Structure 1
Amino acid sequence: MNIDRLERLDACTWRLNPERGMRVPVILYGDEALIRAMDDKVLEQAANVAGLPGIVQASYAMPDAHWGYGFPIGGVAAFDAGAGGVVSAGGVGFDVSCGVRTLLTGLKRPAIEPVKTLLADTLYADIPVGLGSHGKIRLDAQGLDAMLKGGAQWAVEQGWGEARDLTRIEEHGRMEGARPENVSARAKERQRAEMGTLGSGNHYLEVQEVTEIFDAGSAQTFGISEGDVVVSIHCGSRGLGHQIGTEYLRLMQGAAKQHGIALPDRELACAPIESEVGQDYLGAMRAAINCALANRQILTHLTRQVFARVLPAARLELLYDVSHNTCKFEEHLVEGKRRRLHVHRKGATRAYGPGHPDLPPAFAETGQPVLIGGSMGTASYILAGTSGSETLSFASACHGAGRSMSRHQATRTWQGREVIDQLAERGILIRSPSYRGVAEEAPGAYKDVHAVVQSSDRAGLARLVARLEPIICIKG
């Protein structure tokens, strides 16, 4: 990215002042190396978002930002319905409510080593993974609608999990305002056999070791210490979410024209929040959030079953579950006043700070656990929300490493078998149905995740708590 157009506010904060139709500035977060390495398209897309009706304060790009469909991935923007604000399916993404949940095993690394291969093989056998993967659960029409309304709460009621899990999930496991009737028959059909599946792409289930603690107090509250083994699950709403995104983007192109919204990019299709299309999308999108929450809950249940057989001493308590592809109706402080806004986070993690009323009491003093997935073979991180992030980014932080090259370029650079063998030499076991999928997700195809989380920490978006290194990765 050419940084000549940007004003540097501090070591990790950059500003593009309004120009050419922008209603608000663009704020980018990242150290100089990360900003320079970003594609110019990131700034172009963030500037386009800054010109949408009803946008509040700024259009933000997180340190892991890269260009996407409409909004940049790593983009955050809030809109005021009372000021003609819009909702955009491109500001949420196709994988609605893709997110991460982390489970505490209560074990240390030496307990894993004797059974590491068995654990990898059993997880791979029992966790459906890969493009179009199907699980053992088949939902009829009534069951699908109940799941779309109930989310993880529904899953627990069906026996896939424990009631105490719900206290450690955003929205307590169920997104209010879901409207299954706004989800098409095609979207529902795609999801009918996909509950309890990881899917493909950058989705994974990883067994990880806590290798470094940055904030001992928060780590103690989170229940983690150096040498601990944890399990992280990264996936979303599968085929249903993708279908919702595809269908509503098409509807929003017509709605934007109908309401006289000039789009600088057709991929930025949107509709007024209070319009029929806007409300229909929000109802469908919230149903997709519940689908993702239910999906991760079922995957947790399957993972617990595997550990019960292979490592009965493991307890697998849920630390937290948070999404990074959503639009949420939230209250935020803007210029000294509380305002209710629709906050789009596309490839950005909600990061509520200490004392936020929506957090479990256990995190009142530390702030929300912010779960950051690394690329395959590299570290992941646990951060904590800060009290200052609300005014910096509507309480948002990065979500992962962020791609530095396309999947096509990655497959021309690496061979999947070669990547698996190289990681095995480092003691990391990969299980995947697709060599091509492994090549697409090769560690070198992503940015330096440590630089990304350091920038988030230095900018005040979220506070570093712990570093996690992979032991086993079940990969789509």
Structure 2
Amino acid sequence: MLVPGIIYVDTALEGHLEQQAIDQVANVATLPGIVGVSMAMPDIHTGYGFPIGGVAAFGVDDGLISPGGVGYDINCGVRLIRSNLTRGEAIGRIRDLVGALYNNVPSGVGSKGNIALSLDDERQLIKKGARWAVEQGYGDADDLDKTESGGCIEGADPSAISDKALQRGKNQQGTLGSGNHFLEIQYVSEIFDEAAANAFGLFKGQITVMIHTGSRGLGHQVCTDYLATMEKASAKYGIRLYDKELAAAPFKSPEAELYFAAMKGAANYAWANRQFIMHRTMEAFQKVLGASPGELGLSLVYDVAHNIAKVEHHTAGGKKTALVVHRKGATRAFAKGHPELPESYKHIGQPVLIPGDMGRASYVLTGTETAMAETFGSTCHGAGRLMSRHKAIKAAKGRAIWRELEDEGITVMTAGKTTLAEEMPEAYKDVSNVVEIVHNAGISKKVAMLKPLGVVKG
């Protein structure tokens, strides 16, 4: 190890640490050019190369970039929509709203959307991200202002993306996908920080909607394509790998430049996807409730990525320097005053969106100066799995998960027969425990708790 490894955890979650995930934190610490520490958040579990929940930064001159530090679902992320509706006003229409969302937003493995893209359209979308969606009439400039990176990372290059990846992504804009992706109607059950909640437009009892999805088949194919490239690059540049899944290339190499340009394109694809889904979500609310999005007060709180690598400036070794920050299952948590934040949030800090399982809760937090100093402005991204999908299916045998959720007042619809078993609440750590750790560590601060009322699962 070239640097220490740090895992944010408490005694309650320590017993759930997987040895392989701990080993992955150590393995990441052996990579050339790593700066400061190799770290993992309390939602840590075993991933491909890097642990899920992992954060690592590398110098732009002497460091590298690794697809394993981003993951297959490039820019899987979370978007939160607020409303003026209260729980009391909406509770009688939740089943209708869930049905409308299910019909408006295709979900499931290989699902195809209703956004018609030519290959030229797709290439423009890859370059522009959510900006392209807004140009087509799906949202407005305020949405871009409240999206990480304005919904677009400059420098995306469609020519760095394979024809196979383009074909996989051509029909998947505006789709949720499968696995842990979801659309969730929630209500604000508790406020911890009134000032931040007011700045974000949140109040107790309010209806919100959370969108969790990413770059679909396009992002998966980009990762698959470049893992093969990086395996060759690791050997070519003499990078010693303690795990072949950490395959990487020097950041200033031709291989890294191509991967980074393709990864940016997949990230932009994901931001456009969430922008389209938000539009379809608002249409569903309008259809069911008979009022326009404006009348309902539907607007974007924020959108964050949690599988991405970005060039950012952080203090390392006592000076400000450019770093390639890998966040894999980790969320950016920038402090107040940061130039990348919207003007309306600069006095508070970045909204941090942390989804939980479909039976318990999700959270809104803010970024902090402690995060900027200790974690390259990063925090956890969710609850983190306790069980593999296979184990969850076995544990759910003979149970009706949908009925258990109904008994808790949560309406759920899903495209896959096994999805509810794979995604049942017990398959995950309790997100409240995870959030308490990052809150107490000071790397993000609690603002509000959101509880589920209706869920569409992929």
Q: What TM-score results when the alignment is normalised by the length of structure 2?
A: 0.98
Shift of the 416–373 alpha-carbon distance from structure 1 to 2, 3 Å rule, reads farther
Task: Give the alignment of 1:444-455 within 5 angstroms.
Answer: 444-455=426-437
**Structure 2 counterpart of 1:209, which letter?**
Y
Post-superposition offset of 1:65: 0.5
Q: Distance in 2 between matches of 1:450 and 1:416?
A: 28
**Structure 2 counterpart of 1:344, which letter?**
H
Match of 1:14 in 2: none
RMSD (CA atoms)? 1.0
Post-superposition offset of 1:35: 2.4
Post-superposition offset of 1:36: 2.7
**Structure 2 counterpart of 1:318, which letter?**
L
Q: Does 1:283 align with 2:265?
A: no
Q: What TM-score results when the alignment is normalised by the length of structure 1?
A: 0.94
Match of 1:115 among 88, 93, 96: 93
Identity %: 49
Q: Does 1:473 align with 2:455?
A: yes
Q: Unaligned 5+ residue runs, structure 1?
A: 1-21
Q: State whether residues 348 and 397 of structure 1, in contact with CA within 8 Å, keep that contact through their aligned partners in structure 2.
A: yes
Match of 1:24 in 2: 3
Q: State whether residues 120 and 474 of structure 1, in contact with CA within 8 Å, keep that contact through their aligned partners in structure 2.
A: yes
Task: Give the alignment of 1:381-392 within 5 angstroms.
Answer: 381-392=363-374
**Structure 2 counterpart of 1:81, which letter?**
V
Q: Distance in 2 between matches of 1:142 and 1:127?
A: 23
Match of 1:364 in 2: 346
Match of 1:38 in 2: 17
Q: Unaligned 5+ residue runs, structure 2?
A: none
Q: Does 1:61 align with 2:40?
A: yes
Q: Does 1:344 align with 2:344?
A: no
Q: Distance in 1 between matches of 2:377 and 2:160?
A: 29
Post-superposition offset of 1:144: 0.8
Q: Distance in 2 between matches of 1:417 and 1:170?
A: 40
Q: Distance in 1 between matches of 2:402 and 2:114?
A: 28
**Structure 1 counterpart of 2:352, which letter?**
V
Shift of the 281–416 alpha-carbon distance from structure 1 to 2, 3 Å rule, reads farther
- Alignment length (residue pairs): 454
Match of 2:192 among 197, 214, 225: 214
Shift of the 126–417 alpha-carbon distance from structure 1 to 2, 3 Å rule, reads farther
SS in 1 for 2:187: strand
Match of 2:171 in 1: 193
**Structure 1 counterpart of 2:456, which letter?**
I
Match of 1:315 in 2: 297
Match of 2:224 in 1: 246
Q: State whether residues 380 and 469 of structure 1, in contact with CA within 8 Å, keep that contact through their aligned partners in structure 2.
A: yes
Shift of the 412–256 alpha-carbon distance from structure 1 to 2, 3 Å rule, reads same
Q: Does 1:227 align with 2:205?
A: yes
Post-superposition offset of 1:217: 1.1
Post-superposition offset of 1:416: 8.9
Match of 1:81 among 34, 37, 60: 60
Match of 2:357 in 1: 375
SS in 1 for 2:210: strand
Post-superposition offset of 1:156: 0.5
Deviations 1:300-330 (A, max 9, x none): 0101111111121422110000100000000
**Structure 1 counterpart of 2:149, which letter?**
E
Any runs of at least 4 consecutive aligned residues in structure 1 with deviations exceeding 6 A, and if so which?
Answer: none
SS in 1 for 2:366: strand
**Structure 1 counterpart of 2:58, which letter?**
F
Q: State whether residues 416 and 438 of structure 1, in contact with CA within 8 Å, keep that contact through their aligned partners in structure 2.
A: no
Match of 1:3 in 2: none
Match of 2:70 in 1: 92
Q: Does 1:433 align with 2:411?
A: no
Q: Distance in 2 between matches of 1:25 and 1:303?
A: 44
Match of 1:203 in 2: 181
Post-superposition offset of 1:42: 1.4
Q: Distance in 2 between matches of 1:75 and 1:44?
A: 12
Deviations 1:247-294 (A, max 9, x none): 111110000000001110111111111111111000000001100000
Shift of the 96–80 alpha-carbon distance from structure 1 to 2, 3 Å rule, reads same
Post-superposition offset of 1:417: 6.5
SS in 2 for 1:138: coil
Q: Distance in 2 between matches of 1:426 and 1:86?
A: 47
Q: Does 1:354 align with 2:332?
A: no
